[in-house]
Chains A and B, each alone.
Chain A
Amino acid sequence: MPPDTADPTPRPAVETFRGSGAPGADASTVRALGRLLPFVRPALPRLVGGGLSALGASLAALAIPRVLQHVVDGPLAAGARTHDAGALWSAMALVLALGLAEAGLILLRRSLVMLPGTRVEAVMRGVLFRHLQDLPVAFHDRWAGGQLLSRSMTDLGLLRRWLVFGLLQLVVSTATVVVGVGLLVATTGWLGLVYLVGAIPVTVIVFRFSRRFRAISRRSQDQAGDLATAVEESVHGIRVLKAFGRGRDALESFTGQAEELRRTELAKAGQQARINVALTLIPELTLAVCLVLGAWLAHTDQITVGALTAFFATAAVINGPVVDLGMTLSMTLNARTAVDRFFEVIDTVNPLTDPDDPQVPAAPEGRVVLRDVTFRHDDAATPVLDHLDLELPAGTTTALVGLTGSGKSTLAMLVPRLYDVTAGAVELDGVDVRRMRRADVRRAVAVAFEDPTLFSASVRENVLLGVDDDLPAPERERRLREALEVAQAGFVEDLPQGLDTRIGEEGLSLSGGQRQRLALARAIAARPRVLVLDDPLSALDVATEEAVTARLRDVLAGTTSLVIAHRPSTVALADRVAVLQDGRVRAVGTHSQLLATDPHYRYVISSLEDDAAEHGVGALADATAEGDGDAATTRETTLDDEATGARL
């Protein structure tokens, strides 16, 4: 979904279009397409060559009938009288030469244009991808996948076709029309001027068409992107749709969207039809006037019959390109929309970049300090983190505890600089992470995300994702084994191809717990100075959790770690606990200290707050069996406690 509020980085896709004045609209189309120049420049000679070949081929095609007429009427007829076969040979040679030239020039034109067309597209696709990878997570949070995909595939494909066919045709058609009309005016005076008058409404209509068509073209390409997003979501959310039996509703809403796109496309075709009618009708009607006027002029001997014939012969030549102009123009306007949409992303300034004079910590030990940190999403009114201070001393493990939605994950994202703070600073070994190269920060900090992303690659590649490629193979293998062992991911050995089994979307699907363990292994294998684990054990069963915890403690010793925890079992990994509430750290201490002193911590982490739970399962079951009576009262009490806790 495109962003819905004004925001400096990504712009809303649908609303960006602003209609502009008619003449300006076209000028800006030229300017917009002009932005392609840096990409097209290397291909320019070939494109020009292609244009010339196209021109040559057209000339050859035009020449052949005339030459035929000429050689047959002249030399051949004469040869027939003298029974001279030589005339036939030379005529055949001439026609053959022209025929070969035409075919050869078409071949040349195509082979000249082909390479630049595909290459420009590929280069632009690469540039877009690189830029998208450079843009921060905040950008991707807000831009729907379909909108980016449609830019990368559909829009750039459109541009390729325009470069290969549309651009040349536009140039050739326009040139033909301009030269033809000029010729008409120059040679036939009044008649030519009448024809030129016909060009006035055509020009006006073309401008108006351009403006309207551009708006619709933009809408259609945006809607196509939204449709792609809908497809993507319907597949990514297939389990939910199936679980609730909502396939039909999804189909209905998809149909609604597709129907909207269809309407837009029909509106586009409507505009296209109108311009076609205008471009056929107006010149033809002008010609009708010219016909009658010309007949009268010839009748009154103001022009010769030959001149009149020549006038219409030339007009016939212009006719084709004028009609084609409608098609070519739409193609050009679509290409312009594609360029606009492309540069919308390219022009998005990345606020999260490498500094000009990157620094590296003098003594890398893994100390992290969050100093007076405020973080607010660009489009949000209230900050998630509000003047927060927290220090992670080197080599210690800190658990971050707080209610769901209290900003724990956001805080975790700040450390590897996936987001930048709104105010304050995050320091790694005394250096503000914004003054370091992103790659350096992220080499020092590894994260295991709460929803583990696995890529379509082997288990090995997935786990070694954060390990430098130039590490010797045995060392990589050692780290891999160790990480898998710590994360209790021995199950990978039982996969069909063991560690080489392809997993992720294109491979074997794994359970939530299995994915989480691989994500954990991945973070461990990176051997970072700072390890950020976002609720790393949530999907594990009790026995596995216990085993992982035992091994993880060894690994965490000596590594600065931030562990987001929802449960005491996860907190047990940590030396100290920081309690997050309302965007600030309200208390730091050991688990038992906090349990004794901090009611909010008790509220968040302790199950025993609930009286019923103290009696264990039996009591709980009893309470359930008894119905709502007593159990409800106990729960009320608990809620009161919570309220008190929250107030404190």
Chain B
Amino acid sequence: MSTTTAAAPQDAPLSGAESRAARSRSLRLLGDLLRPHRGRLGWAGVLVVASTLGQVAGPALVAVTIDHALPALDDGDGAPLAVYGALFVLAAVVGGLAGGAYVRQAAVISQAVLLELRRRVFRQTQRLSLEFHEGYTSGRIISRQTSDLEALRELLDGGLTGVVSSVLVMVFTAVSLALLDWRSGVVLLVSFLPALALTRWFQKRSQVFYRRQRTASARVIVKFVETMTGMRAVQAFRREATTEQDYGALAEDYRAANYATFSLNGRYQPGLVLIGNLTVVAALAYGGWRVLTGELDVGVLVAALLYVKRFFQPIQQVGMFYNAFQSAAAALEKVSALLAEEPTVVEPARPVALPAARGELRLEHVTFRYGHGPVVLPDLDLTIPAGQTVALVGTTGAGKSTLAKLVTRFYDASEGRVLLDGVDVRDLSTPDLRRAVVMVTQEAYLFSGSVRDNIALGRPGASQAQVEAAARAVGAHEFVMAMPDGYDTDVNKRGGRVSAGQRQLLSFARAFLADPAVLVLDEATSSLDIPGERLVQRGLQTLLADRTAIIIAHRLSTVAIADRVLVMEHGWVVEDGSPEELVELDGRFARLHAAWRDSLV
């Protein structure tokens, strides 16, 4: 399911129901993230109010001082001046400190939420099955982790400050107005209708626009990551101009999407201001008419109009907040969609413990197909006793790698069962399974960091001696020592300085260190030179002496160390026996073996 959804065009317009579901999923996530911080949010609100009060108190105290303390001073009483002066200082200190404390508090909340979300996305990325990753590009995951999170951060950092104090000011003003002249209050209330209509219009369109923006941004990132990763091929095949064109088009889409959201917001905000100002005019008309008819005192009208105007002053900030909110909600739609993906390979709810595996593998009537694709393994029945080394031989598409992926549980069988020591692998906890079964693939990825870190990936916390022993066992020690800082040498990006063969040796060392009961080698020696392969084989013979191994290799030299060879074709095992037996049999393996012998010098 993940493959199809992930590969589907991202910006297919959502139907009404889908759109609502996406939005509510996104808001649920936001609520979920903020819930643990309810207390902190409340405290932040208190701080905002305190800082707002501090700021508002200043002008009021000035007015009181001039109106009361000054005449008192003229009467020879300096006490009121001292009191108001002190109050002014107090207001300044409270307002200032509360403002500062709020900034800190807001950052604490925002950073805690971001950290939590980063971790969730990362954990989810690791949790999701390979099937998912084969359809969802790294660029899109990076875009979830970077630019989508950035949108949320903007909301959390900037938005809240303004909105709390703005809303407070608006509420206070509205209440004061209602008390002063309820009829003007009604005018204010009526003005809510067009404001709401405008907001609704903005909400509907911005939802579309911000979604488009998120998609456009993800596309730019995907293209960027892909180009940078494949830079050698881009340059070697002179694709710079074409790539630049493609990237330019995507960047332009992103710019246009940004522009669209800006311009939407650029109409929404002045729209709100306009409604506010029209309300002032309406209040003036209504109040003025009542003044003319003598129903209303001029002084009251002045005050009422000033309240109406003041009510709308913070509206731009509220608009900004709403805008940031829409942007974050669209981003969280994408993030929550990723978080909602279910791995196709599921961890068992109640795992069967397997602390020390012996390594017996049994496949019972295993059928496998990728998604709805053609059947790769029609019906496989196979038992590999603990400690046996089995070589899989066959052409591309025979199902060798699929078998390896099932044993390592990168995929689950469509039908039938895969058993390790009699336990269905689907009933094993991931740590138990991974401790027991390790796979080394052709693609030997190195992470940035030292050589030691990369080998120690096989067993975190391994000592230097253990790391070195593993490296020696596969013949990697010499070239590692020849590197500038030995085991502390930083393997650069994508292992730039390490040849493909050396990378494979390092990933072999990892497997040595991991010391699993079952080792699966999927074309793990393809880039090794012959001396390197000899060394690895020597190491393998020691390593595999007491463990189960499945070796997929087209180099029959590697096959030679096997106790048993399975020749596969179209998902069926067509020959099964010891290498000598199969050579005797004069079948496919015998032919392959003869061809291989001929190729040797």
Contacts and interface: CB of A to CB of B under 8 A. Distances in A.
For the complex of A and B, list the 6 residue pairs with the smallest distance between their C-beta atoms, beginning with the closest.
A245-B434, A99-B277, A269-B107, A404-B501, A284-B92, A110-B266
Interface in A540-590: 540-546, 566-569, 572
Nearest to A140: B231
| Interface of B (DSSP majority class) | helix
A144 B542 CA distance: 38
Contact of A604 (B147, B234, B394, B531): B531
A251 interface: yes
A530 B526 CA distance: 25
Contact of A416 (B88, B107, B236, B599): B236
A244 B511 CA distance: 8
B302 A126 contact: no
A381 B484 contact: yes
B204 interface: no
A297 B309 CA distance: 35
A405 B248 contact: no
B554 A541 contact: yes
B493 interface: yes
A79 B502 CA distance: 95
13 contacts: A1-B448, A126-B247, A129-B244, A149-B224, A228-B146, A232-B142, A238-B126, A239-B130, A248-B126, A277-B97, A280-B92, A535-B500, A605-B530
Contacts of A95: 277, 280-281, 284
Contact of A287 (B92, B228, B236): B92
B235 A117 contact: no
A413 B529 CA distance: 19
A277 B302 contact: no
B447 A233 contact: yes
* Most chain A CB atoms below 10 A, which of B106, B133, B232: B232
A68 interface: yes
Contacts of A110: 262-263, 265-266, 269-270
B229 A234 contact: no
Contact of A234 (B99, B126, B401, B597): B126
A511 to B, nearest CB: 6
A119 B559 CA distance: 60
Contact of B527 (A77, A133, A251, A538): A538
Contact of B122 (A118, A234, A308, A309): A234
* Most chain B CB atoms below 10 A, which of A83, A227, A506, A511: A506
A235 B561 contact: no
Contact of A243 (B230, B439, B563): B439
Nearest to A146: B142
Interface string B363-401: 000000000000000000000000000000011110001
Contacts of B595: 542, 546
Nearest to A466: B237
B441 A608 contact: no
A: interface residue count bin: 35 or more
A88 B285 CA distance: 7
Contacts of A466: 236-238
Given A129-B227, A132-B228, 4 more contacts: A234-B126, A243-B440, A442-B238, A450-B500
B95 A284 contact: yes
A245 B274 contact: no
A1 B270 contact: no
A236 interface: yes
Contact of A291 (B84, B96, B460): B84
A376 to B, nearest CB: 12
B458 interface: yes
B66 A308 contact: yes
A616 B235 CA distance: 45
B554 A287 contact: no
B324 to A, nearest CB: 11
Interface in B457-511: 457-458, 460, 479, 484, 490, 492-494, 496-502, 505, 507, 510
Interface string A230-265: 011111111111111111111100110011001001
Interface in A85-144: 85, 88, 91-92, 95-96, 98-100, 102-104, 106-107, 110-111, 114-115, 117-119, 121-122, 125-126, 129-130, 132-134, 136-137, 140-144
A100 B274 contact: yes
B573 interface: no
A642 B531 contact: yes
A276 B310 CA distance: 25
B599 A568 contact: yes
B: interface residue count bin: 35 or more
A152 B146 CA distance: 12
A415 B424 CA distance: 53
B122 A277 contact: no
Given A153-B221, A299-B74, A76 B291 contact: yes
A59 interface: no
B49 interface: no
A292 B78 CA distance: 10
Interface in B211-244: 217, 220-222, 224-240, 242-244
Contacts of B183: none
Contact of A405 (B99, B502, B562): B502
A613 B292 contact: no
A324 to B, nearest CB: 11
A504 B578 CA distance: 39
Nearest to A83: B292
B298 A77 contact: yes
Interface stretch (B34-42, B57-65, B184-192): B57-65
A269 to B, nearest CB: 3
Contacts of B563: 621, 624
Given A104-B270, A232-B142, A606 B448 contact: no
A154 B263 contact: no
B172 interface: no
B20 interface: no
Nearest to A267: B107
Interface stretch (A35-43, A363-371, A422-430, A451-459): A451-459
